[in-house]
Amino acid sequence: MTSISLSAIEKSFGNTPVLNGIDLDITDGEFLTLVGPSGCGKSTLLRILAGLEMPDQGSVTINGLTVNNVRPANRNLAMVFQSYALYPHLSVAQNMMTPLRLRDLSFAGRLPFLGPVVARERYREMSAQVGETARVLKIDHLLDRKPGQLSGGQRQRAALGRAMVRKPVAFLMDEPLSNLDAALRIHMRSELAELHRSLKTTFVYVTHDQAEALTMSDRMAVMMEGQILQLGSPEKIYNDPMDIRVAEFVGAPKINLLPGTLDEAGHVRCGGMVLSRITSNETVGSITLGLRPEHLALCEQGALESLTGQVVHKENLGADIYLHVSVLDAAHRIVLRATPDEGTSVSIGQTVHFKRLCGHAMVFGKDGGRLGLSNAAHESVAEVA
């Protein structure tokens, strides 16, 4: 069993703090994604785990061993870089063989020309290993090519191959898909997830793309300003964000945020809406109400607790139609999801009415923290479901 843990990691470049006390335990075999906007410190965290950067504070443990002072080469981790970092002068096969050569061969075996003669047996084994990995990645026909002769996707596979050819404790991936075109990127998502399932090795994956994080991870850590805001399964992060920044970052189109108020009884009010669930939080005043586009639905005029607004833009994605509606005296704009049936009849400029689907609204306090809501028994009767 291998587990990796990072505790109280701090790092700053010059006077700029990058990581402020990160604690993270990675369990064996999981696919963990570090996701966040650029500059949030996710890549730095990965590089500290890899050993390419030294943390100012805190420790990195692999299998219970503190590895702060262990060089990257000795941590037995494999990394896939954003630019792939393939050696341009070596063929794909030689690129993939490099980690094996450097780790498993003696100095004599690594000598040019002489090496393959001295350690003939090892070389044969290594070639077999490379061939095997190449077959898994379907690049066995490219082994003799130089990286310069490969397409982006093929380079991506070669870089994966170089990481996979040995059996590392974990694979570290630093935005590996960001240099691919959109279609290939989506295809590679599922392929990477499958690869993870078959290898059963820990993956630590860094991305700025929340969709990648949601689709591939077992757990994801949303990072911002050098901190992990929330760590949990993609479902949990999406449905139950603990911070307004997490809620905003995850999900496309973005969550709709509307200003509201909280009264003494714990009710949240926004426009014509009053949430049925109440919060026990006693801070009376302004709050922010979060509603995901799919938690809003068009309704008839005059329906209870509906909002009214004017359609300003329509995005037709085929399966869904997103309507951009300006509400609350045109001060805010929200996006709501409609089915094609409902959506096609709506035209731009038209006034529409919509209401929320109950039980999904999220309320965030002034500091951005999530306020818990609970059903108050006597109130729920009054609520129309």
Residues that bind another protein (CB under 8 A): 2, 47, 50-52, 54, 62-63, 65, 67, 69-79, 81-83, 85-90, 98-99, 102-103, 110, 146-148, 162, 167-169
Distance separating alpha carbons of residues 91 and 148, to the nearest angstrom: 9
Q: Which is nearer to another protein, 126 or 338 (CB)?
A: 126
Distance separating alpha carbons of residues 277 and 87, to the nearest angstrom: 59
Give me the least distance between CB of 158 and another protein, in Å please: 12
Closest CA to 176 of 342, 322, 46, 357: 46
Q: Name the residue with tokens 């990257």.
A: 72
Give me the least distance between CB of 280 and another protein, in Å please: 48
Sheet containing strand 65-66, strands side by side: 16-26, 4-13, 57-62, 65-66
* Helices of type H across the chain: 42-50, 92-104, 107-110, 114-118, 120-136, 152-164, 182-199, 210-216, 234-239, 244-249, 340-344, 377-380
Give me the least distance between CB of 176 and another protein, in Å please: 12
Q: Which is nearer to another protein, 31 or 322 (CB)?
A: 31
Whole-Å CA distances, 215 to 104, 175, 235, 250, 292? 36, 15, 10, 12, 18
Q: Which is nearer to another protein, 164 or 289 (CB)?
A: 164
Q: Which is nearer to another protein, 152 or 253 (CB)?
A: 152
Closest CA to 58 of 17, 2, 16, 11: 11
Closest CA to 246 of 226, 223, 227: 223
| Cβ atoms of residues 45 and 36 within 8 Å | no
Give me the least distance between CB of 40 and another protein, in Å please: 20
Residues 6 or more apart in contact with residue 72 via CB below 8 angstroms = 50, 51, 52
- Length of the chain (residues): 385
Give me the least distance between CB of 226 and another protein, in Å please: 21
Q: Which is nearer to another protein, 115 or 309 (CB)?
A: 115
Give me the least distance between CB of 258 and another protein, in Å please: 44
Give me the least distance between CB of 3 and another protein, in Å please: 11
Give me the least distance between CB of 89 and another protein, in Å please: 4
Distance separating alpha carbons of residues 314 and 104, to the nearest angstrom: 59
Q: Which is nearer to another protein, 103 or 135 (CB)?
A: 103
| Cβ atoms of residues 316 and 343 within 8 Å | yes
